[in-house]
Amino acid sequence: MLTPKNNANQMRTRILVKIVEKFLNNRFEDADRIPLELRPKGEPFNRCCIYKDRAILKYRCMASMGFAPEDEKDELTSLKEYGQTALKRKTHADNKLSVITDACSACVKSRYMVTDACRGCFAQPCQVNCPKQAISIIDGRSHIDETKCIACGRCQEVCPYHAVIRVPIPCEEACPVGAISKDEFGKEHIDAKKCIFCGKCLHSCPFGAVVEMSQIVDVLKLLNDSDKKVVAMLAPAVIGQFPGTVNQLIGALKKIGFSDVVEVAVGADITTQNEAAEFVEKMANGEKLMTTSCCPAYYKAAEIHIPEIKPFVSHTEPPMYYTAELLKKEQPDCVAVFVGPCLAKRIEAERNPNVDYVLTFEEVGAMLVAGGVQVMDCEPEEFAKISCAQGRRFPISGGVAGAVASLVEGKADYKPVAINGLNKANIKLLQQYATKGCDYNMIEVMTCEGGCVAGPGCIALAKKAAIMVENYVKTGADLKEKQ
Amino acid sequence: MEKIKVKICCGTSCFVMGAAQIQVLEFDPPADIKDKIEIEESRCMNYCHNTAAKYNRGPFVEVNGELIEEANFEKVVNKIREILDGTKD
């Protein structure tokens, strides 16, 4: 995916930087200045006026502190008060994605629209081909009756003037599982029971109306508590997400208060070994299919939306699990913070007592920015445990299946396929594979197109990050030789 | 014709605030400017320390020495096109 970040994404990073800055300066004493500082008087605004911009910014700040827009009991509660409440809480906020109702533009529901290009022709193929008689000619132009239209798209296909356009609702279009939908006023809402935390709605909303509850304040608090040992577990997708080398990043993270830094790719090597062993065993037992389990959004989707595929999902734990297990064995008193590209890891952490917090690269980036740390100037340090090439390639589509392949070789017949990006069509495909069978026996599923390097919490360009990951893979030892 | 020099600041602050995304110019530049630019990823150019507003004005990009504040892909491409249009006459 080669779309650079847009204003809405960039603003989220700026907000996070401000939140860290206000925490470091005076523990949120003047947090209410953030909307004013980000939208100063006299500068251009995006919504109807500067004041609405600022009001929405306040909601976005709240989410960065872990409060959902719907948590608001009194509109006059200040950001300072929210900040102080966040500093007092013992556990992080409930993980969820929310829509800021006042920022949601309630995109038009009608999916097909006749534009000015309609010439009101004699042939009227749109009207003739409409299966629901939804099209009539009003004032010499085609008109679609929204109440009858079933959005089949026939009128668009047959119009010789290309006068019919399809107007999508970006968030609904992006959500692979139908978890986001309109209320009676046209505003979008996320159904927590259906949400798989992929973050696609958050990225696709052109109004920046979707927010996610951050744990950044909770971690900041611990990093600045000298009694606490906070350890960062860096997801394999970390390569290329920051300037400098990953070894310099270890030094940089220690500067902002982490006591130790470990590589989750080490856990990915264990996942590879266990998943390969599980595959060989299952095939020997005559099973027809196995899918990977390490993508937490896919895992959740399989659990609640694709019951057909669920029996085939691998029981091997994801890399974060093994990494946290090793870490807590060695440092039982530490606070384990997973740092990655993924929002769904937050729900995976809920079922793992060894993982205390989950941050995104963007959130850690904001900490480095506000802390004034230049990664490129930091002293490089080595990881205590070094990962192998197999584990390092996990964040790229095809990486997990490839890693498992290297260990299955010669022990079982291996026919892999990669589902690169979970969308509505690929969910149907998975259902078919499970019920009707397929030519493959190993399915790797990654919810983000391109793999974790394209995750919603990433800083770097997916394509560039993928190249950097491949280079890092080349410097790693072969797991086969290590066994 | 001499190529237009695009210097993208890749200090931590600029990188995180969006410079990383401007690197799309290296992989997928618009066809009209593709052969006319030379990209350089720079270490921190110290603009973040010099401006009163600090990192809030980043990411910083220099196009033929001219500074673009709060740079994004569009702003940089527009500046390149502006220079190209100017040299045509």
Residue range A355-369, pLDDT digits in tens = 999 999 999 999 999
**Whether B10 contacts A243, CB under 8 Å:** yes
Closest-CA distance of chain B to residue A348, Å: 26
Helix (H) / strand (E) containing A267: helix A264-284
Q: What is the pLDDT of residue A10?
A: 84
Q: What is the pLDDT of residue A476?
A: 93
**Whether A97 contacts A211, CB under 8 Å:** yes
For residue A450, give the 3-state DSSP assignment. coil
B89 pLDDT more than 80: no
Q: Which residue on chain A is closest to B19 by alpha carbon?
A: A460
CB neighbour list of residue A3: distance below 8 Å, 6 or more residues apart: B24
Dist. CA A402–CA A394, nearest whole Å: 9
Structural domain harbouring B22:
4-88
| Domain positions in chain A | 26-104+175-214, 112-168, 218-482
Residue B29 sits at the vertex; the CA angle it makes with A399 and A472, to the nearest 5 degrees, is: 30
Q: What is the CATH number of domain A218-482?
A: 3.40.950.10
CB atoms within 10 A of CB B49: 12
A252 CB neighbours in chain B (<8 A) are 12
Dist. CA A27–CA A149, nearest whole Å: 54
Write out pLDDT tens, residues A406-464: 999 889 999 999 999 999 999 999 999 999 999 999 999 999 999 999 999 999 999 99
Chain B contact present for A17, CB below 8 A: yes
- Nearest Cβ partner for A374 among B12, B18, B73: B12
Closest-CA distance of chain A to residue B28, Å: 8
Q: Which residue on chain B is closest to A363 by alpha carbon?
A: B16
Q: β-strand A210-212 against A97-99: which pairing, if any?
A: antiparallel
Dist. CA A52–CA A50, nearest whole Å: 6
Closest-CA distance of chain B to residue A448, Å: 17
Segment among A164-168, A286-290, A471-475, B27-31 with least mean pLDDT = B27-31
Cross-chain residue pair B16–A7, CB shorter than 8 Å: no
Cross-chain residue pair A461–B27, CB shorter than 8 Å: yes
Cross-chain residue pair A459–B20, CB shorter than 8 Å: yes
Chain B contact present for A460, CB below 8 A: yes
Q: Which ipTM score applies to this complex? A: 0.91
Q: Which residue on chain B is closest to A1 by alpha carbon?
A: B24
Hey, what are A291's tokens?
């899918």
Closest-CA distance of chain B to residue A186, Å: 32
pTM score above 0.80: yes
Chain B contact present for A10, CB below 8 A: yes
- Nearest Cβ partner for B24 among A244, A375, A461: A461
**Whether A357 contacts A345, CB under 8 Å:** no
Number of structural domains, chain B? 1
B51 pLDDT more than 60: no
Chain A contact present for B33, CB below 8 A: no
Mapping DSSP onto H, E and C, the string for A8-77 reads HHHHHHHHHHHHHHHHHHHCCCCHHHHHHHHCCCCCCCCCCCHHHHHHHHHHHHHHHCCCCHHHCCCCCC
Cross-chain residue pair A369–B72, CB shorter than 8 Å: no
pLDDT tier at A1 (50, 70, 90 boundaries)? very low
B44 CB neighbours in chain A (<8 A) are 374, 376
B53 pLDDT more than 60: no
Cross-chain residue pair A464–B27, CB shorter than 8 Å: yes
Cross-chain residue pair B27–A459, CB shorter than 8 Å: no
**Whether A161 contacts A119, CB under 8 Å:** yes
CB atoms within 10 A of CB B53: 12
- In the predicted model, what is the mean pLDDT of residues A13-29? 95
Q: What is the pLDDT of residue A134?
A: 94
- Nearest Cβ partner for B16 among A2, A365, A461: A365
CB atoms within 10 A of CB A9: 17
| φ and ψ of B2, to 5 deg | -70, 140
Fold of A112-168: Alpha-Beta Plaits (3.30.70)
- Nearest Cβ partner for A10 among B15, B24, B72: B72
| Sequence letter at residue A68 | A
Write out pLDDT tens, residues A153-167: 999 999 999 999 998
Chain A contact present for B83, CB below 8 A: no
Dist. CA B53–CA B58, nearest whole Å: 9
Cross-chain residue pair A2–B27, CB shorter than 8 Å: yes
Write out pLDDT tens, residues A116-161: 999 999 999 999 999 999 999 998 899 999 889 988 999 999 999 9
Closest-CA distance of chain B to residue A245, Å: 12
A301 pLDDT more than 60: yes
Please name the residue ranges forming H helices in A149-211: 154-158, 170-174, 200-204
Determine if the peptide bond prior to A296 is cis (ω within 30°).
Answer: no
CB atoms within 10 A of CB A269: 30
Residue B62 sits at the vertex; the CA angle it makes with B60 and B64, to the nearest 5 degrees, is: 175
Q: What is the pLDDT of residue A2?
A: 44
Closest-CA distance of chain A to residue B89, Å: 32
Chain A contact present for B82, CB below 8 A: no
Chain B contact present for A374, CB below 8 A: yes
Q: Same topology for domains A112-168 and A218-482, yes or no?
A: no
Tokens 């969308």 sit at which residue?
A: A423
Dist. CA A273–CA A386, nearest whole Å: 16
Dist. CA A310–CA B54, nearest whole Å: 51
Q: What is the pLDDT of residue A110?
A: 65
- In the predicted model, what is the mean pLDDT of residues B39-56? 77
In eight-state DSSP terms, residue A242 is S
CATH number at residue B23: 3.40.30.10
CB atoms within 10 A of CB A370: 24
Dist. CA A26–CA A80, nearest whole Å: 10
Tokens 């769904």 sit at which residue?
A: A344
Fold of A26-104+175-214: Alpha-Beta Plaits (3.30.70)
B72 CB neighbours in chain A (<8 A) are 4-5, 7, 10
